[in-house]
Structure 1
Amino acid sequence: MTIIRQGSLFDLQELYHLEPTQRFEAVFSTIDIEPIFAVVTKKSRFGRPVGLNYAAMIYSLIARITERIPFIKDLVKRLKYDMIFRLDCGFLVSDSIPSEAAYSRMITVLCESDVLENVQGTLLHQAISEGFVEDDTVAIDATHVLAKDAAPPKEEQPKSEPKKRGRKSKEEREQWLIEKAEQEANLPLYDKKIEEQLDIPLDELRAEIPQDPQWGIKKNSQGKNVFWYGYKAHLAVGTKSQYIFQSLLSSANLNDGKAAIPLLKGLHEHVLFPSMRYQTMDAGYDFEAIYTQIHRMGHQSVIAYNKRNEPEPIGFDKHFAPTCVREHSYRYDSFDHQYETLKYTRPKECKDCPLANDGLCQRVYKVKITTDLRRYTAPARGSKTWKTIFKQRTAVERVNAYLKGYFQLNNVRYRTGKRAKVHFDLVTLVYNASKLGADRINRKLSKQQAA
């Protein structure tokens, strides 16, 4: 995917043109590693004495992302033979170089903690407090993440018994309905309908998300099905600042829409700020429950409509704007926030129409968005403002390209979902840290030019 350069003095890509020492300083200075250090450091004075520099190990894991070092063994080798890199990561000359096993134990400890998510939240709030985040629109989308391990061989499914033909008796149908209801009640949370997520707390939603590598399927630009084995990365990104506000890693077979409500609830509980107003997504997120969640947050949804073989509405055009007797579409005029009402005005074509003066064509048409949250959005579907906001959705695709091209998102080297999530959390953390570092340099350059 083409990476679109932004019009700024100092861009994120230019951070990689700096000397390694300057680059590390710019990134490391934005991350508060104290919470991570408190989790991974040795808690007891008993047992085998440990002489490892845990703070430097944390910085070296961050440097591994920025330097695109593919394996931990390559990181250990770099630390052994590159003295400047070792000192940049915070190791002293007298410190022993950690082994691969030491890094593996550290990652295992991080698997059982959400400390990386907490540090990510702290960094994001720092960016907000410094004035780098003033977005009014958030874009949500998912991207595929390959697992480097070979997929396991497919198991042969036992042949099911042939279904009995004919209509069920009343007693059989009642029994079948009871069994079906019990089966649906016992399904895992993310196998149920999306509506079930609306009243479930955020912590439970994040805890229940499936993360083991699975087979996924998507359509490419030619409309053909493409299969991959691995994961999905779900991101909520500010369309102007391009910071990652919320992120989730799931199995590849999870529907994109089923990760939207956890992302939206995370935004509402942890990242909400006054300027945020719109949530924009593609047609894969066109579900009633997602519109409901956005409405509960007090925001407006700008989501592409998916017809799903629905009949064309009578008396309305393809954007659900009302039409006159001669089927000319009414023009979207404004949105009343107090009454949540869309206002449409008479079409231009009706100006000289004789039916307009006979009362057959009303001058103003109003409709509440709560009548149908999918069809009636603010701004109205098809309007110039709606299209302008929807175009901003490409920001999340741009961030996906950055993560894969610069931050090793597609370099998952772990067999379990928990360890893969540590890699994913490090990638998103380092991306936001690099973004904040670049913004600080850009602000400094702007002040120097102004002086």
Structure 2
Amino acid sequence: MTIIRQGSLFGLQELYNLEPTQRFDAIFSAIDIEPIFALVTKKSRFGRPVELNYAAMIYSLVARLTERIPFVKDLVKRLKNDMIFRLDCGFLVSDTVPSESAYSRMITLISESNVLEKVQETLLHQAITEGFISDDTVAIDATHFEAKDQAPPKEEKPTSEPKKRGRKSKEEREQWLIEKTELETNLPLFEKKIEDQLDVPLSDLRTEIPQDPQWGVKKNSEGKNVFWYGYKAHLAVGTTSQYILQSVFSSGNLNDGKAAIPLLKGIQERVSLPTLRYETMDAGYDYEPIYTQIHLMGHQSVIAYNKRNEPEPIGFDKYFAPTCVREHSYRYDSFDSKYETLKYTRPKECKDCPLANDGLCQKVYKVKITTDLRKYTAPARGSKVWKEIFKRRTAVERVNAYLKQYFQLNHVRYRTGKRAKVHFDLVTLVYNASKLAVDRINATISHQLAA
């Protein structure tokens, strides 16, 4: 009698413990390669006859990630020496093994289009249709990965001319304001303020994201700055399903907050998931335009507050809940979605307070979240529900670890941003395909157990 493994115990690690043939079949079946195949195949019957199996080449790039093969030259060597691996990738015995140059030409064609994003969108739609994605919360965060290339020396800032002492004349100030306005107007979109992204279409945002490797900086556990050269991966992950719902590839020096609106607009326009209600992020995304974008989507923000030399609020606690005369915090009660109003009730400490009966302490306090979207969130900051939703943010950190541990996100072997983006898009695509493969296996196991 066949022993059936319990469905709830099957995960990504178990997928990698399967035989390669089974693993490849499960992952390949989750990816619709037709758009990629149509892009890279020969369009004319004239010229040199086609001798390459392009479909198998695409599958072999997927297999390269799952098998953790670092270089394309190693992939070519594996295809030449391992007949079973070659057949698993879809090559026929009579097929010629592609050269490194053939793979390079194919990757160049893919880098000139957004075909991998379309394939990713199709995969997500399939996962939603099959009922594997039904999240109510999305977690957003970024992770860095280095470019495997010699980093240029950091440029020293040019020494500026000493400023003239004294106030500018009226004419000089007016001229300075005109020059400053022109300079800010001509800046690239992602060097402007975040609020300038709100009215820009998603396609333009995606097009203008800087993608060349750059110097980035982060703080380590000791609070010291650590510099690195490379890229950033910005992910929006379903906290329950752990699918990557949207992803953005950028230069390493791009501020995390400046990638949030492209991710949010991508969720709004490309992910048809009516169950979504919350977006949760860390304090690095505490910018008012991000709250505005989430509010325009009809969702709620659960973002850690980043105090920026702001004065202590008078009449409110650190979570912006109102306080009574004796400075006890009101308790969050509920949120009225129709009127977008938070309701707070009298503190427990005020139950026997003589001031409560004198009308100095009101029983109920209501405030509209549109008064200040950054301070007043639904559920209210500091409430038990808010903290529970914020804890779900660890899902995106877990996915970042998966991409680096299992899918070679750390091993970018291309020197240009466009080709590095192909690697990044393949990594996220293969990850989601692996998730879909695991979910399908679990569904089959559950069906067998139920029968």
Superposition pairs for residues 220-299 of structure 1, below 5 Å? 220-299=220-299
Q: What displacement does 1:154 show? A: 3.5
Q: Does 1:441 align with 2:441?
A: yes
Deviation, 1:156, is: 5.0
**CA displacement 1:322-371 (0-9 Å, x = unmatched):** 00000000000000000000000000000000000000000000000000
The C-alpha deviation readout for 1:383-441, integer Å capped at 9, x for no partner, is: 00000000000000000000000000010011110000000000000000000000000
2:3 is matched with none
CA distance in 1, matches of 2:159, 2:300: 48
In the aligned structure 2, how far is the partner of 1:432 from the partner of 1:182?
A: 44
Is the deviation greater in 321-330 or in 214-223?
Answer: 214-223
CA deviation string 1:55-100 (max 9, x = no partner): 0000000000100000000000000000000000000000000000
- Measure the CA separation in 2 of the matches of 1:387 and 1:72: 45
Which aligned pairs between 1:11-160 and structure 2 lie closer than 5 A? 11-160=11-160
For residues 93 and 238 of structure 1, what CA distance do their matches in structure 2 show? Answer: 42
**Residue number in structure 1 paired with 2:171:** 171
Map Cα deviations across residues 269-315 of structure 1 (whole Å, 9 max, x no partner): 01132110000000000000000000000000000000011001000
Task: Give the equivalent residue in structure 2 for 1:4.
Answer: none
Could you list the per-position Cα deviations for residues 100-147 of structure 1 after superposition, in whole angstroms to 9, with x for gaps in the alignment?
A: 000000000001111100000000000000000010000000000110
Q: Distance in 1 between matches of 2:24 and 2:129?
A: 23
Task: Tell me what 1:352 maps to.
Answer: 352
**Offset at 1:222?**
2.2
Q: How much has 1:160 moved relative to structure 2?
A: 2.5
Counterparts of 2:275 and 2:293, CA distance in 1: 18
Query: How many angstroms does 1:47 deviate by?
Result: 2.2
- % identical aligned pairs: 84
Amino acid of the structure 1 residue aligned with 2:133: V
Q: Does 1:376 align with 2:380?
A: no
Q: 1:155 to 1:384 in 2, by over 3 A?
A: closer
The residue correspondences of 1:176-195 to structure 2 (distance < 5 A) are 176-195=176-195
Residue 351 of structure 1 aligns with an amino acid whose one-letter code is K
Code of the aligned partner of 1:67: E
Return the letter of the residue paired with 2:328.
H
Alignment of 1:323-362 (within 5 A): 323-362=323-362
- RMSD of Structure 2 on Structure 1 (CA): 0.9
Which amino acid is the alignment partner of residue 363 of structure 1?
K
* Contact 1:190–1:258 (Cα < 8 Å) also in 2: yes
Q: Are residues 1:320 and 2:320 paired?
A: yes
Partners of 2:263 and 2:272 in 1: how far apart? 12
Structure 1 stretch displaced more, 331-340 or 264-273: 264-273
Q: Distance in 1 between matches of 2:414 and 2:69?
A: 15
1:157 Cα deviation after fit: 4.7
Distance in 1 (CA, whole Å) between partners of 2:433 and 2:230 is 26
Deviations 1:24-71 (A, max 9, x none): 000000111111000011112222222000000000000001000000
Contact 1:9 1:445 in 2 (8 A): no
- 8 Å Cα contact 2:154-2:215 kept in structure 1: no
- The residue that corresponds to 2:206 in the other structure is 206
2-structure distance, mates of 1:274, 1:188: 34
Amino acid at match of 2:60: S
Return the TM-score normalized by structure 2: 0.98
CA shift, 1:158, in A, is 4.0
Structure 2 gaps of 5+ residues are 1-6
Say if 1:76 and 1:97, in contact at 8 Å, map to a contact too: yes
1:8 match: 8
Partner of residue 308, structure 1: 308
Hey, what's the Cα distance between the residues in 2 that align with 1:166 and 1:66?
65
Report the counterpart of residue 412 of structure 1 in structure 2.
412
Tell me, what secondary structure is at the counterpart of 1:365? strand
Distance 2:270 2:89 in 1: 31
Looking at structure 1, the residues matched to 284 and 150 of structure 2 have their Cα atoms a distance apart, in angstroms, of 28
Q: Do 2:282 and 2:304's aligned partners in 1 also have CA atoms closer than 8 Å?
A: yes
Distance 2:70 2:449 in 1: 39
* Alignment-mate amino acid for residue 240 of structure 1: T
AA in 1 matched with 2:314:
I
C-alpha displacement at 1:162, in angstroms?
Answer: 1.7
